[in-house]
Amino acid sequence: MSTRNSKQKNKIKNELLKVSKRCCFCKVNLNPGNITIEHVIPLSKNGSWHISNLKLSCEHCNFERLDSDFWEFHEKKKAVRDLRKQQIKQKMISE
């Protein structure tokens, strides 16, 4: 079955929240109002609803990713996080 009802999705979210309460891309803390389920391999490319193919993300990252490759998008977001950390460090050193 490629679709899930909201009760099934909530069960999946609760299981995934036991692993991490942060967006798999931007690392923002997730709350009930901004959680989405990400498929590492999209359903359109023969991905499944198996827990090993699922991650949690915030709505913003989910929307931004659209149909791009999970791992490419993950690396892009990691590069942005690393750049922000570097900029903050530079600012702290210069103050």
pLDDT tens-digit series, residues 6-43: 888 889 999 999 999 999 999 999 998 899 999 999 88
The pLDDT tens digits of the residues spanning 66-89 come to: 878 899 998 988 888 888 888 887
| Cα-based distances in Å from 39 to 4, 46, 84, 88, 95 | 13, 10, 27, 32, 43
The CA distance from 31 to 44, in Å, is 27
Query: pTM for the complete prediction?
Result: 0.76
What pLDDT score was predicted for residue 22?
94
Residue 20: predicted pLDDT: 92
